[in-house]
Structure 1
Amino acid sequence: MKKFYLFLLFAMISDFAVFAQSGIVKKEITLMTYNIYHGEDPYNPGTGNIREIADLINNIKPDLVALQEVDSMTNRTKNFNREGKMDVVHELGKLTGMTPFFAKAIDFSEGGYGEGILSRLPVTFHAYSLPIPNGGEERSLAVASVDLGNGKTITFAATHLCHEFAENRTAQVVAIKNILSEFKGAKVLTGDFNFTSEETGYSILSEDFLDVALKHGNPQNTYSSKDPKIRIDYFWLEKETDWEIVSVEVLDVEYSDHKPVLIKVRLLN
């Protein structure tokens, strides 16, 4: 295992060195978001979905992946992992060759639970706690500052808003906007927002961000994966940046109770 991580680190450093020396700015990026139901198949309890999710990511080869409902070394992961507790985002990093990051929202089942990010590009990572004025489960924001080359950066932020109270979701959206205002350059926000377009939080985000699926046309429902009746998983692009939305796709897989969303975008400035 130690040799594997040393190899992965060497490969990442080598790739970055070639990337940096080339002077090429990566302008088109492929991004994915997926609520993975803590790594267990919701329709077959006791069956893990990590390998299927990793295979999906390997087939698509996105530059960045946002993951929601991520377990880290919880007793719950022993339900579907014969080898014992699992750090889900690090396992996915190992299986995909991407760099894993974890933003814990709560202590849970003698481990952690929160948001994950996988990256193929050099990043600086930050994690933030979000407000819960009406009580309930704590939430987090995972933020990766991504180096695209030649001094160009993009901020990739991922979250999972409160599933219980609209008041919490509204406060969390306001907090996220304030946090992201401190980052320079292009910004992408994604995740499971637990709201539809009729809610206040959606309107607040729409003041400064574009709903990518709506902008691209014909947005598709994302929940549930077997019977998708609502759209609660989103990509948002900051309006101040000049973007080209190349493609938007909701993937028809049932490894989780949510469908993953995949987009390709291009920076025009």
Structure 2
Amino acid sequence: MKKLFAFLLLFSSITASASEGTDELPGSPAKKVKSLKVMTYNIHHCNPPSEGTKIDVAAIAQVISKEKPDLVALQEVDVNTERSGKGLNQAKELARLTNMHFFFSKAIDHQGGDYGVAVLSRFPILDSTRFILPIDPAIGGETRTIAAITVDVAQGQKILFASTHLDLKEPNRLSQAELIVKQFASSGLPMILGGDFNALSDSKVIQFLDQTFVRSCQTCAPTIPVKNPNRAIDFIMYKPDSTFKSKSTRVIDEQYASDHLPVVAELDIN
């Protein structure tokens, strides 16, 4: 519990930099909408696994543009790294290519640049925040973060949308899931969360999150590997406050652009 409070204090000290990576495009107030199309996509730093070290941002953008989502949760995003190209902000470039707004949340330093998660939004971003998820120093692990934005989706209907990528080790994933639930418990806004949870549907982590969120699918199609996928670890979920109702969830059979398959959910807005 003490660790949790320590990380909450850390969150309060870093939110001042949360607006970094937000690119505000011209936009008018949101028109009344009856549904949202939401995507979550681990983009493998825009590196097609079959192409060695090649970086192909356009391929990821094409996958997104073809689906025309309103909101996208991205994981494994590079900004100014040596492997992807100094001067290349993948979140910003994907936003440009898809004509969306973006917010990037750094997780770690990597090859002279940054690496983390991001969100894309068809709606102008009203607010944004980033916070670090806990890692138990006794077992170690890679730093993980949350990228969260507030958008107006329907003439005064504000929602939270967030992207995350949980750790590979279950004890870390559990403490990270606990912090996510606690951090957004008092927001008062409807919320959608997308990400690579590195956890199966019947895992302790997803079962814990199921107590607070509703997954867009209960029997979810597998998302990895891209060829002959055999397990689902990428999910879209939302708070069960009667705002959203899951209409459909699809896993897109896109085997070139990344090592994960993208997930697209259509949510009705009540």
Question: 1:25, 1:152 within 8 Å by CA — same for their partners in 2?
Answer: no
Q: Which has the higher helix share?
A: 1
Aligned-pair CA distance for 1:166 = 0.5
Larger RCO (CA under 8 A, 6+ residues apart): 2
State the aligned residue count: 244
From 88, 93, 96, the equivalent of 1:94 is: 96
CA contact (8 A) 1:27 1:148 kept: no
Is 1:207 equivalent to 2:211 in the alignment?
yes
Which runs of 5 or more structure 1 residues have no equivalent in the other structure?
Answer: 1-7, 79-83
Take 1:241 and 1:102, find their aligned partners in 2: how far apart are those partners?
A: 29
- Cα deviation, residue 174, structure 1: 0.3
1:126 paired with 2:129, answer yes
* Counterpart amino acid of residue 157 in structure 1: A
Equivalence for 1:72? 79
TM-score normalised by length of structure 1: 0.86
What's the Cα RMSD here?
1.6
Assess if the C-alpha contact under 8 Å between 1:246 and 1:266 holds in 2: yes
- The runs of at least 4 consecutive aligned structure 1 residues that moved more than 3 Å come to none
Give the alignment's TM-score, normalised by structure 2.
0.86
Given the alignment of the two structures, is residue 259 of structure 1 paired with residue 266 of structure 2, yes or no?
A: no
Aligned to 1:60: 67
Three-state SS of the structure 1 residue aligned to 2:51 is coil
In structure 2, the partner of 1:142 is 147
| 3-state SS in 2 of match to 1:117 | strand
Give 1:174's aligned residue.
178
Task: Write the letter of the residue equivalent to 2:28.
Answer: F
Equivalent residue for 1:104, pick from 86, 103, 106: 106
The answer for the alignment partner of 2:11 in structure 1 is none
Write the distance in 2 (CA, Å) between the matches of 1:54 and 1:263. 18
Percent of matched pairs sharing the same residue: 34
Q: What do the CA deviations read for 1:125-179 (whole angstroms, capped 9, x no partner)?
A: 111100001321000001011112332111111100002x100000000000011
Distance in structure 1 (CA, Å) of the matches to 2:124 and 2:154 = 9
Please say if residues 53 and 83 of structure 2, whose CA atoms lie closer than 8 Å, have aligned partners that are also in contact. Answer: no
